[in-house]
Structure 1
Amino acid sequence: MRMRFLASALAVVAHGAMADEPPRDNPLADGPTWAELKGDFVSDENILKDGSHVLDVTAPYRANDAATVPLLLAQSDPAVPIRTAQVIIDENPAPMAADFVFGELMMPLNFELRVRVNQYSNIRVLAETDAGTYMSGRYVKASGGCSAPATKDPVAALATMGQMRLKHFDTAENMSGQRRDAQIMIRHPNYSGLQRDQITQLFVGAHFIDELQVYQGDDLLFSMEGGISVSENPVFRFTYTDNGAPALTVRAHDTEGNLFERVLPKTGES
């Protein structure tokens, strides 16, 4: 009897889990917001092409944490390099999350970042290529990401602000000419201006990284103009072609006028 009860319970749990599973695909959903926004990003909607065969955008259907939603941009067609990418979150208070420029050594593009999502929203990417502008994206169920409390109190956050770490996921000593898988983490609270101090309950002023450049020697890997939707302590994971330079140089500027520059050796974890 006990075994039959356990089996029945497991069957119910399994059925519930299957019922709650998101669909395998979460394409952009129809809605009125983009009709109001598109004029801010494209002069003529007719120039936008379907980007499903050029850029694959991956994001969770239902986010575990609305303040750190992973977003992966992967070039689908090796023959169509992606020069720039605008990440737009339709329903966020400031829809433009980030505007990226990518260097040749980033091709084919494979790039991940984390963003805040304030309410159920389309996350769309406008990718500029030599063949035109393409739009891809995903619909994500998340809420409260822009106003979610910071993980550290302001004093602790400011004490570590500007620290950076580079990690490679390959261990070879000499990778010149090879594709490499790297991750850069930057300590910065990236306050959105919508969060409250947990003690005073007053709003914390917006303070975020608005400009970022990552170089390999003299070659630009990528640059970013950022907004409030990039997550706290930004993390960027990407693949690039090693040009033999011994380090990556990261320059980050924030809205308070702070400039952080670090030279991060490729050997080991910096």
Structure 2
Amino acid sequence: MALALLAAPALPHPAWAADNPLQPSPAWDDMRSSVIGTETEPPVDAAVLELEAPMRADNPALVPIRITQPPGAPRIDKLALVIDANPAPVAGEFTFGPATGPLDLEVRVRVNAYSDVRAIATLDDGRQVMAGRFVKASGGCAAPAGSGADARKDIGAMRWKSEPQGDRAIGTLMIRHPNFSGLQRDQVTLLDIPAEFVQTVELKQGDELLMTMQGGISISENPVFRLGYAPNGQPVTAHAEDTEGRAWDESFPQAGG
């Protein structure tokens, strides 16, 4: 496994901004029905769902997003992560197993222009709720791959780390993959690099589902998913597939490593 992957840090924890609420978004108004299946705007309710993001991103290609619920909140079955101004706005569509409630999920995304970043959750009682922030960033989808010429080295290699947190655990899945957006250029040939990205992730402990994701070009290079869950003592397995038809599977002891 690549040293770069072995040394990959967990998601950064900046001083999350609390004064960058969602802004009016004609793009969201146009796509709302196709994304969530209804023209009805889901309520924003911090007592059920919260999204944290920096007001101004240090790196538009690696913007940390954290989606959380307070204790006792209704469990989330499904969640769509949307970046309104991106060329492909739906960054990922997630499903979650019972062990992940209340939800605590972090992921890194690309932000291509000043944009609302929103999470629309479907609760286990069928209701939808929304949370989001306005993020000032630009150029994230066209930013050169940070790995340069070695972007495909050890492609598909995965690492899992799990750390106890009270009666729960925080697991971090790291996947080695360039996640090319289709908007980047080869820095040597100056030719466009075709889109090539992880589109499916499935995470389980034993037979119990933790998370699935159907992703797009807005998930950052070398995807990292940090997820809270209730451990059941079983090994954790990860399955990933990309747009080139490649598939990878790994199994890890419950304690991670």
TM-score (norm 2): 0.89
Match of 1:152 among 147, 150, 155: 147
Aligned to 1:266: 254
After superposition, residues 65-144 of structure 1 pair within 5 angstroms as 65-76=59-70, 78-129=72-123, 130-144=125-139
Mapped pair 1:248 → 2:231? no
Gaps of 5+ in 1: 1-20
Cα 1:158–1:210 shift into 2, 3 Å? same
Aligned to 1:224: 213
- One-letter amino acid of the counterpart of residue 147, structure 2: K
Give the whole-Å Cα distance in 2 for the aligned partners of 1:259 and 1:71.
26
Aligned to 2:223: 234
CA contact (8 A) 1:248 1:265 kept: yes
Cα displacement string for residues 40-67 of structure 1 (whole angstroms, at most 9, x for unaligned residues): 1133222622233211100000001100
Cα displacement string for residues 118-153 of structure 1 (whole angstroms, at most 9, x for unaligned residues): 000000111001150111111000001000000123
Cα 1:59–1:158 shift into 2, 3 Å? same
Q: CA RMSD in A?
A: 1.9
Cα 1:95–1:165 shift into 2, 3 Å? same
Give the whole-Å Cα distance in 2 for the aligned partners of 1:217 and 1:104.
14
Mapped pair 1:206 → 2:195? yes
Cα 1:38–1:244 shift into 2, 3 Å? same
Q: Flag as ranges the 4+ runs of structure 1 deviating above 3 A.
A: 21-24
Give the whole-Å Cα distance in 2 for the aligned partners of 1:196 and 1:116.
16
Question: Rg larger in 1 or in 2?
Answer: 1
- One-letter amino acid of the counterpart of residue 33, structure 1: A
How big is the shift at 1:238?
1.3
Does the residue aligned with 2:30 lie in a helix, a strand or coil? helix
- One-letter amino acid of the counterpart of residue 254, structure 2: K
CA contact (8 A) 2:168 2:231 kept: yes
Cα 1:79–1:53 shift into 2, 3 Å? closer
Of the structure 1 ranges 178-187 and 90-99, higher mean CA displacement relative to structure 2 is found in 178-187
- One-letter amino acid of the counterpart of residue 211, structure 1: T
Cα displacement string for residues 199-224 of structure 1 (whole angstroms, at most 9, x for unaligned residues): 00001010001111000000000000
Does the residue aligned with 1:45 lie in a helix, a strand or coil? coil
CA contact (8 A) 1:168 1:266 kept: yes
Gaps of 5+ in 2: 1-14
- One-letter amino acid of the counterpart of residue 175, structure 2: I
TM-score (norm 1): 0.85
Cα 1:26–1:46 shift into 2, 3 Å? same
